[in-house]
Homo-oligomer: A and B are copies of this chain.
Amino acid sequence: MSFENRRVGTADRVGMAPGALLEDTHSVPAQIELIHYREHDSSAIDPASLQAMQTAIAAHDGVTWLHVQGLPSKAFLEEMGARFGLHPLLLEDIQSRDQRPKLDEYVEHLFAVFSVPRWQGDGAVLEQFSLLLGDGYVISIHDAQSDITDILRARLAQSSSRLRQHGADYLFYSLIDLIIDQIYPLLETFGGTVDELEERLVTNPGHRALPDIQSAKRTLNQLRRQLWPTREVISHLIRGVSNEPLLEAGLRPYLNDLYDHTVSVMDMLETYRDTVTGLIDIHLSSVSNRLNEIMRTLTVISTLFIPLTFVTGIYGMNFGNNADSPFAMPELRWYFGYPLILSVMVAVALGMILFFKRRGWIFSRDRF
Contact = CB atoms under 8 A, between A and B. Distances in A.
B281 A214 contact: yes
B162 A367 contact: no
A310 to B, nearest CB: 5
A299 B295 contact: yes
A51 interface: no
Contacts of A184: 7, 10-11, 14
29 contacts: A7-B268, A13-B181, A14-B185, A15-B151, A17-B163, A18-B174, A19-B254, A87-B253, A89-B254, A104-B256, A106-B253, A206-B364, A206-B367, A207-B366, A218-B275, A221-B270, A291-B296, A294-B296, A295-B296, A299-B299, A302-B302, A305-B306, A312-B314, A315-B317, A315-B319, A316-B318, A318-B320, A325-B338, A327-B337
A280 B282 contact: no
Contacts of A211: 282, 368
A26 interface: no
Interface residues of A, number: 119
A305 B305 CA distance: 10
A18, A268, A341, A342, most chain B CB atoms within 10 A? A18
A208 B367 contact: yes
A177 interface: yes
B328 A100 contact: no
A264 B13 CA distance: 14
Contact of A281 (B280, B296, B320, B364): B280
A148 to B, nearest CB: 10
Contact of A339 (B267, B301, B327, B361): B327
A308 B98 CA distance: 66
A268 to B, nearest CB: 7
Contacts of A102: 260
Nearest to A345: B314
B210 A100 contact: no
A177 B19 CA distance: 12
A134 B279 CA distance: 48
- Which one of A104, A253, A268 has the greatest number of beta carbons of chain B within 10 Å? A253
Given A211-B282, A291-B292, 8 more contacts: A14-B184, A210-B368, A294-B361, A298-B361, A311-B313, A321-B332, A325-B336, A329-B338
A99 interface: yes
B327 A338 contact: yes
B310 A302 contact: no
Contacts of A57: none
Contacts of A294: 296, 299, 359, 361
A100 B270 contact: no
A337 B325 contact: yes
A324 interface: yes
A40 interface: no
Interface string A16-31: 0111000000000000
A188 B7 contact: yes
Nearest to A366: B206
A333 interface: yes
Nearest to A187: B7
A99 B257 CA distance: 10
Most buried by B among A90, A161, A214, A367: A214
A322 interface: yes
A109 interface: no
A100 B209 contact: no
